Amino acid sequence: MTGVEALVRWRHPGRGLLGPDEFVPLAERTGLVRELTRVVLGSALRQARVWREAGLDLPVSVNLSARDLLDLDLPRTVAALLERHALPADRLELELTESVILADPMRARAVLGRLDAMGVTIAIDDFGSGYSSLAYLKRLPVSAIKIDRSFVMNMERDDNDAVIVRSTVELGRNLGLRVVAEGVETVAVWNRLAELRCDQAQGHLLSPPVAAAELTRWLAERARPAAPRPPAAASAPDARERRAARSVRAVGPAARR
């Protein structure tokens, strides 16, 4: 495990659990998205501090909207929240899409520059779904790119998507950027990404989105020492047994979700 991402949901009293697509656009239109971002940032950093004190030192990622990136006070707000929760800046990663950058490139560059100077990590989310990727990768203090899930999920069935994923991994490697594949749901895709030397992956194969308490139990289980292995057999395993062992290791993360 290399990190977690904060996802916002609304438990509506009449409509049940709502995803961000159903209420974040409204928050953006009404100007409430900045307050929403502060609530999510505070909640994520507070939980990160709890995990850190329990010996689970994981960075947390939080998404930014276009309005967030136009807020010149955002770096000051982030610094205050990090100080309140006694976390180093490198424990926070802020994710933004290319469309967010396009809202006001000059102001976005100024805000991200200040966040980067603090030590906060910046990642481009949904990479490949916009139109200005290469230009902004040169100009912005970006440390990671996250390949859009639409390409990753279909890469085993669509040759064009597979080419896009492979090219993005190579681009990130050549630019010295960490590459994260989103939407990993099958062992076949996981293994293909490993062959391509993609740095990190996230998706339902590892775990579906869960509440913090459930994730804490999941993390604690993964952190436990492995059970002692039985003594090695006197004879070497044959080829079929070696293949089976590799398969068990490959599907392990899915089996423990």
Contact (CB, 8 A) for 3 and 58 = yes
pLDDT tens for 100-109 read 887 788 888 8
Distance (Å, whole) CA 230 – CA 221: 21
pLDDT tens for 133-184 read 577 777 889 999 999 999 999 999 999 999 999 999 999 999 999 999 999 9
Question: What is the gyration radius of the CA atoms in the chain, in angstroms?
Answer: 20
Helix (H/G/I), strand (E/B), else coil: 56: coil
Distance (Å, whole) CA 244 – CA 250: 10
- Residue 250 predicted with pLDDT over 80: no
Closest CA to 185 of 226, 150, 220: 150
Helix (H/G/I), strand (E/B), else coil: 257: coil
Helix (H/G/I), strand (E/B), else coil: 11: strand
Q: Model confidence at 235, in pLDDT bands (50, 70, 90)?
A: very low
**CATH match of 1-142 with 3.20.20.450:** yes
Q: Where are the domains of the chain?
A: 1-142, 147-215+239-257
Distance (Å, whole) CA 90 – CA 82: 10
The H or E element that residue 200 is part of is strand 200-201
Domains 1-142 and 147-215+239-257 share a fold: yes
**CATH match of 147-215+239-257 with 3.20.20.450:** yes
Percent of the chain topping pLDDT 70: 84
Helix (H/G/I), strand (E/B), else coil: 74: helix
pLDDT tens for 37-67 read 999 999 999 999 999 998 889 999 999 988 8
Contact (CB, 8 A) for 181 and 147 = yes
